[in-house]
Structure 1
Amino acid sequence: MDNPIPEIDKIRRQLMTIEKPKKLKLLVVDDEPDNLDLLYRTFRRDFNVLKADSGINALEVLAAEGEVAVIISDQRMPEMKGTEFLSKTVPQFPDTVRIILTGFTDIEDLVEAINAGQVYKYITKPWDPTELKAVVQRAAETYDLLKQRTEELRRANAQMALLTSLVNVTQLSTSFDSILDPLARSFGESFGCDGCILQMIDARELAPIQGSYSTAGKVENWLRSDPLTTQAIASGQMQVSVNVSNDEKLAAVSHYSDNGVKAHLMVPIIYRSQTLAVLSLQWKQPFALREDELKLIHSSAQLAAIALTATRCC
């Protein structure tokens, strides 16, 4: 398995068949029903638009829906001004881009909010629809860029943490058996898995020796009855079901529904053309890893193979 690209390309093609571009979420907040309806109709074609008629209700919408890309809020509303509402969203949703609509000259409030990073731009009422659309489009692009940079930083930190963990496990483990659970945990935590099994191979068959990790605290090992296991051992290549509910070859395999597993990546651990183990990464939601994360799994599996070989020989 010197070249992981064909495997990763195959997984990417599978993802392309199930992934559909999703509209970004846009929250519009205004206490005037006509304005709220106009904002909804202006953006409903390009965004998944959520509505709220007050800052308090908008906070409830965010609590239920989670992060949105852009918030457009009126400034002058009863109970809570727009800038006050927006300031409350910053700690939990720092990447959300915030726009204020104002029909008044609330310069002091607006300048303070803009300087504090709480407001991306303000638009005066009555707004020009073309101008507002252009501003919101730029805001959405800014959000995408922020998310991309945040994700890049997260992935870089995860990569460093995984590689450091693998090295530490190898150096600190005193026996072969003691290395398996920590290795499974390192992979599971690094890639947000709900379950992870690292099981040794003997004569191209699963051996009893294994390590495991689970967010639920218990892992049921059903790899012996899984077609992906057989395919991974036979081919020496990663096998994946990106969305089990749409995977015909796994339709009759009951352990997926029994354990709530929606996606499964099976990685053979190979050293000098010999399959030493298989690594099972399981998620309770459809597959969501990026190409660089797949490459990291591949390279880390090679490091794990070296660690297993070195520890077994000691």
Structure 2
Amino acid sequence: MEYTVPELDPVSRQSMSLERPKKTKMLVVDDEPDNLDLLYRTFRRDFQVLKAESGIQALEVLSAEGEVAVIISDQRMPEMKGTEFLSRTVPQFPDTMRIILTGFTDVEDLVEAINSGQVYKYITKPWDPSELKAVVQRAAETYELLKQRTEELRRSQAQTALLSTIVYVAQDASSLESTLEPIAAAFGKNFLADGCILQLVEQGTLTAQGSYSSAESLENWLEKDPMVQAAIVAQKIQVSVNVPADASLSEVAHYANSGVQAHLIVPVTLRGEVLAVLSLQWRQPCTLRDDELMLLHLSAQQIALALTCSRYSPGMASQF
């Protein structure tokens, strides 16, 4: 598929979001089977509900399943109280929202847990399903907001590091390899790609010189890829976010052999000339946001400047 940056038409936008939203995960913990089943039935329509009959078992579930948005735990359980269990989840899952169910007044434990940030809310037994649903919904929304802000901060830091790398390379590169390698590595890291190749282009043709892959097991087959030629000719980003579902690529041998399921090609151009192509490859279907495409577009311009600076630096001209 071809994408024009920064504008994207509605069809392009739709094609970039292939996966159905998954249900948010939550974990319910209670040593009484009837209560555990009731909690499960209360939330199973809206959440992917995991169950555990004790704090120890719940820790094992989290170890196997990973982070969940919300944990609901009974307070009074054998072996480990609910507040103790929840406190153990904080270091590894700081964003998870924790709700405690209590049928008695254990003020000291509850106050300490709430004040230390280990518990988002406590609900007294017998609990009202509508009230508990409302609390859990707010907790899940808070979790999503925290994750969104964390991701935005991570993305901002990664983008700053990416652009800084390009600027640094443009100023201090002493060889072709020292120009390409850090740029490819930075892009691969920023976009969580399984492989990244930055390869030079001369007169509309890929050169064998100056290619770099950030994944050791990734074979460089760009010269055989129809998307690469399309990117060079059209001077526009080419992307397939789900190769097995793409009729024009699903039968191409190198995709089947490499296991690459998503591929994005960015032409690096300056004054109408393609200087290089940047290849980002993933071994699973992926989605790309508009801001990520914009970053790729702007970064490609910076790469073009870096390559141009390298072209005219001492000792480098002969390599272009």
Q: TM-score, normalised by structure 1?
A: 0.95
Q: 1:39 corresponds to which residue? A: 39
User: 2:211 maps to which residue?
Assistant: 211
Deviations 1:97-137 (A, max 9, x none): 01000101111111111111010000001100110000001
TM-superposed CA distance for 1:15, in Å, is: 2.0
The alignment partner of 1:72 has SS state of strand
Report whether the alignment pairs 1:193 with 2:193: yes
Amino acid at match of 1:125: K
Instruction: After superposition, give the CA deviation of every residue in 1:142-194 in whole Å (9 maximum; x if it has no partner).
Output: 01110111011001100111111111122221133431122211211221111
Q: Deviations over 1:37-79 (max 9, x none)?
A: 0001000111111111111111111111111111101111111
Listed one character per residue, the Cα deviations across residues 252-310 of structure 1 (whole Å, up to 9, x for unaligned) are: 11222322212111100011111111100011221133321221111111100111111
- 1:27 CA drift (Å): 0.6
In structure 1, what is the Cα distance between the partners aligned to 2:12 and 2:259?
A: 21
- Tell me the SS of whatever aligns to 2:184: helix
Corresponding position of 2:316: none
Matched, 1:84 2:102: no
CA deviations on 1:197-248 (whole Å, 9 max, x unpaired) are 1111111111112332334x34310111112112111211111111112111
Which residue identity is paired with 1:292?
D
> Which stretch shifts more, 95-104 or 257-266?
257-266
- Is the 8 Å Cα contact of residues 213 and 220 (structure 2) preserved in structure 1? no
Gaps of 5+ in 2: 314-320
CA distance, structure 2, for counterparts of residue 130 and residue 313 of structure 1: 70
| Aligned counterpart, 1:5 | 6
Q: Residues 7 and 238 of structure 1 are in contact (CA less than 8 Å); yes or no, is this contact kept in structure 2?
A: no
**Closer, same or farther: CA 93–289 of 1 in aligned 2, 3 Å:** farther
Residue 249 of structure 1: SS of its match in structure 2? coil
| Distance (Å, rounded) in 2 between the aligned partners of 1:212 and 1:76 | 58
2:246 aligned with 1:258: no
Matches within 5 A, 1:208-287: 208-215=208-215, 217-287=216-286
Q: Which has the higher contact order (CA 8 A, sep 6+)?
A: 2
Conserved 8 A contact 1:264-1:280 = yes
- Contact 2:218–2:258, Cα closer than 8 Å, also in 1: no
RMSD: 1.6
Task: Name stretches of at least 5 consecutive residues in structure 1 with no aligned partner.
Answer: none
